[in-house]
């Protein structure tokens, strides 16, 4: 099962992907997490990505596609995987289509988490408060100014993926304003209908 999560920053993609990964036993591939790991490990990719990410821009399609391509060849992806944060541009979606075509493994479903834009900044603020309260470090791109930049990048570069996948009949819309449990239940229903 190959599942793509789509939605603006703060929509809850990571939260839901993590849950589904645990309940279904298939890995969550978060390009944001992979890039942050590369930064922490000071790899050449991490060094290239660090500044771009801190200002809320997108890392180049080639770099991200390279990471994903290597990752989906790992044995734990054999049963399927959940893509969280990739593809993020139409060229990335085209690269993914080519990669999957070579492997004869089509995307099964695209879950679009729909959220009211005004509430996203409020969600970010509460995420920052929670992170600080737990004693963890706040991501360098999790501040209001950079977050608004990321939202703009989403609308401009990522939102066009919705019509791209709609044309393929793959998109299922989800009310991302519902509670975490309700969103998870809706996702489960869609995934069960695939089996
Ligand atoms: P969010 O969805 O909350 O914005 P992510 O962790 O998915 O957070 O992404 C954080 C940053 O990582 C992005 O703003 C971007 O700079 C970089 N990034 C993640 N995935 C991609 C991707 N597929 N293409 C380009 N850049 C990416």
Q: Which pLDDT belongs to residue 16?
A: 97
Going along the chain from its start, the domains and CATH numbers come out as: 2-20+110-194 (3.40.50.300)
Q: How many CA atoms lie within 13 A of 37 on its CB side?
A: 7
| pLDDT for position 152 | 96
Quote the pTM value.
0.94
Q: Which of 62, 59, 33, 31 is nearest to 47 (CA)?
A: 59
Taking the centre of ligand 1 as the mean of its atom positions, its distance from the CA of residue 184, in whole angstroms, is 22
Cβ–ligand 1 distance for 4 under 6 Å, the answer: no
Q: What pLDDT is attached to residue 90?
A: 98
Would you say the CB of residue 85 lies under 6 angstroms from ligand 1? yes
Atom of ligand 1 nearest to the CA of 56: 14
DSSP 94-142: HHHHHHHHHHT----EEEEEE--HHHHHHHHHHHHHHHHHTTPPPPTT-
Separation of CA 125 and ligand 1 centre (Å): 18
Interatomic CA distance for residues 69 and 59, integer angstroms = 15
Q: What distances in angstroms separate CA 143 from CA 54, 129, 149, 160, 186, one per listed residue? A: 10, 11, 10, 25, 30
Average pLDDT over the chain, rounded to whole? 96
- pLDDT given for residue 35 in this prediction: 97
In 3D space, the residue among 176, 172, 150, 148 whose CA is nearest the CA of residue 162 turns out to be 172
Residues of the chain with pLDDT under 50: none
pLDDT at 29: 98
- Residue-level pLDDT at 52: 97
Asked whether 8 lines ligand 1 (CB < 6 A), one says no
């Amino acid at each position: 099962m190959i599942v793509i999560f789509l939605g603006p920053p703060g929509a809850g993609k990571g939260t839901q992907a993590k849950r589904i990964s645990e309940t279904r036993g298939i890995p969550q591939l978060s390009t944001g997490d992979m890039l942050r790991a590369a930064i922490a490990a000071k790899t050449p990719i991490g060094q290239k990505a660090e500044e771009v990410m801190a200002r809320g821009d997108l890392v180049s399609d080639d770099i991200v596609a390279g990471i994903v391509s290597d990752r989906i060849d790992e044995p734990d992806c054999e049963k399927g995987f959940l893509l969280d944060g990739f593809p993020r541009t139409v060229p990335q979606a085209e690269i993914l289509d080519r990669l999957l075509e070579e492997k004869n493994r089509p995307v099964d479903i695209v879950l679009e988490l729909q959220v009211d834009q005004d509430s996203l900044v409020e969600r970010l603020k509460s995420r920052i408060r929670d992170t600080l309260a737990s004693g963890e470090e706040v991501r360098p791109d999790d501040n209001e100014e950079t977050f608004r930049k990321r939202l703009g990048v989403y609308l401009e570069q990522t939102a066009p993926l919705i019509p791209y996948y709609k044309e393929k009949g793959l998109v299922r819309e989800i009310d991302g304003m519902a509670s975490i449990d309700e969103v998870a239940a809706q996702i489960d229903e869609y995934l069960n209908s695939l089996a």
